[in-house]
Amino acid sequence: MLLALDDAAVGQWYRAAVEVLSEFRGRLDDLNVFPVPDGDTGTNLLLTAQAAVAALDAEERRSTESAWTVLARGAVLGARGNSGTILAQLFRGLADQLAGGPPADGPTFAAALHKAADTAYAAVADPAEGTLLTVARSGAVAAVAAVDEGRPGLADVVRAAADGARLALDATPGQLAVLRDAGVVDAGGAGLCLVLDALVTTVTGIEPARPPLARREGAHRHPHRHAYGHSADVPHQPPPGPGSEVQYLLADTDEDAVARLQHRLAELGDSLVVVGVDTPTGREWNVHVHVADVGAAIEAGIEAGRPYRVSVTPLAPVPPPAPVAGTRAVVAVVPSDGLAELFVGEGVRVVAARPDGVTEDDILEEILASTAHEVAVLPNEAALVPIAGRAAVRARDAGREVGVVPTRAAVQGLAAIAVADPARRFGDDVIAMAEAAAATRWAEVTLAEQEALTSAGRCRPGDVLGSAEGDVVVIGTDLAAVGRDLLDRLLSAGGEMATLVVGPDPDLGDAVCGHLASVHPTIEVIRYDGGPEGVPLQVGVE
């Protein structure tokens, strides 16, 4: 019998959890009716636990990090679905309390479990009772009570946690009508009980005796993957309609941006869970939400940071309609006639930028004029992204499905339309376009109109400015020299292809293309002339 949980015991526990979740996956999937009856809770819990163990296997021989830390990171980065993401948060909460410390004895583990349950509640935007959260908290409370009652041994504490969780699980049908009507306990809570029982087995060597997880006789079965069948009884459902589960990892962000993202996603949908974890390259987040508007959920992630490993899963098995000509369109804001011709040649509807700016009405008018039901919008300028977003909201009110791909430069718009595919589901197409745009680093050469203090120093009227992602990084007096320096800086971070949009001076284009051919001969170069007069050179690097 173990007296404390060291790294080896923690790894043994998680492997035991994978085994039991694998054994009971089908039963857990069958119990799944909340938050949507999509029959995948057992699968998602198993995949999350497997991701944790896979991370430990990958790091075991080369890392000095605590097993708690490695397992939590693997779980968060590999979490699947609503219940899987909450389980990952529990694992991360345990790691926050126990990693780096001595092996966890009974009191230490009880306190850590209680804290982990609290953090799991905080990770869920709209926590519901009668779920995995309730079961986790009850197990933690029972563990702390065992210590307070004079039973501080690790075996007593983990038995109390597992027994308390099981009692809470049995009570879940009385807390959620959808569970009572279906004759089931909460699937996520049942999965957590299995994980805690695996801990008891690891510590004591004896598997707890439990009644089987089964549906009550006489209760009606839920129609798997027919979402919202009990929406009148359940207050935490996604918006009306078939809806989709959107999940992605988010990097290159901060706490404030994540808080804004949570607020935005809470407005868009439900079942929102956001869990952060530290990685060797910085803090990353696992974002999970159920929404009707997939594009808007992805846009929110791009505005907050760098989403990757994006997955979109329909909450009801409605097959995508066969593509129909004229049902989808792309609308782009374009700053010059030359670029307008280029975008039009790709089948894109164009909103021409005017000296006095582009308005929300201009973009809305072009969306509606397309007569398409599905419209992707490319603002192609950072300041126009929120304006395009407001136009999209109004177009959705008019019955159109609109996704804004937050392109901040014309070269990002070109990258987006290069991957557009009307044969894909619309939400998937918007995601692909957004990912292509986000993968394109953009820069431009302009002329200073007034004296100013920039990131590269003070500039004066007439100076040549080289900007990358909106920040001035080069100041000079010669267009070609600044263009060459700017390209060298961009390509120092890697790249395979450079897209150049050259303004009125073709000699500038010749100079930078010659530089690329001689200094960066492996880079594929695509050149377009006809760029806007006020921007001598635009660059995109992929």
Query: Tell me: the pLDDT tens digits for 23-33?
Result: 888 888 888 77
Do residues 535 and 335 touch, judged by C-beta distance below 8 A?
A: yes
Say whether pLDDT at 534 is over 50.
yes
Say whether pLDDT at 314 is over 80.
no
Give the rounded percent of residues in the chain with a pLDDT score beyond 90.
45
Say whether pLDDT at 524 is over 50.
yes
Task: For residue 174, count other CB atoms closer than 10 A to its CB.
Answer: 10
Provide CATH code, domain 328-438.
Answer: 3.40.50.510
Do residues 32 and 25 touch, judged by C-beta distance below 8 A?
A: no
247/443 Cα distance (integer angstroms): 30
Give span(s): CATH 3.40.50.510, the chain: 328-438
Give span(s): CATH 3.30.1180.10, the chain: 441-541
303 Rama class: left (phi>0) / alpha (psi -120 to 50) / beta: alpha
pLDDT in tens, 51-67: 999 888 887 656 678 99
Establish whether the linkage from the previous residue to 35 is cis, with ω within 30° of 0. yes
User: Residue 350: phi, psi to the nearest 5?
Assistant: -115, 135
Token reading at 316: 């009801």
pLDDT of 8 reads 92
pLDDT of 233 reads 35
Do residues 130 and 179 touch, judged by C-beta distance below 8 A?
A: yes
Say whether pLDDT at 363 is over 90.
yes
In the DSSP assignment, the letter for residue 222 is: P
pLDDT of 479 reads 93
Do residues 184 and 33 touch, judged by C-beta distance below 8 A?
A: yes
pLDDT in tens, 169-182: 999 988 888 888 78
Of residues 44 and 354, the one with the higher pLDDT is 44
Say whether pLDDT at 288 is over 50.
yes
Give span(s): CATH 1.25.40.340, the chain: 7-204
Kindly report which listed range (86-90, 100-104, 226-230, 501-505) carries the lowest average pLDDT score. 226-230
132/48 Cα distance (integer angstroms): 15
Provide CATH code, domain 7-204.
Answer: 1.25.40.340
pTM higher than 0.85: no
Mean pLDDT of the chain: 85
Of residues 56 and 215, the one with the higher pLDDT is 56
47/247 Cα distance (integer angstroms): 14
Give span(s): CATH 3.30.70, the chain: 244-314
From residue 100, give the alpha-carbon distance in Å to each of 6, 69, 262, 492, 536.
11, 9, 30, 38, 55
Domain 244-314: top CATH class? alpha beta
The position carrying tokens 């990958």 is 58
Three-state DSSP at 245 gives strand
282/34 Cα distance (integer angstroms): 34
Provide CATH code, domain 441-541.
Answer: 3.30.1180.10
Token reading at 487: 């390209």
pLDDT in tens, 394-407: 888 888 899 999 99
pLDDT in tens, 129-154: 889 999 999 999 999 999 999 999 99
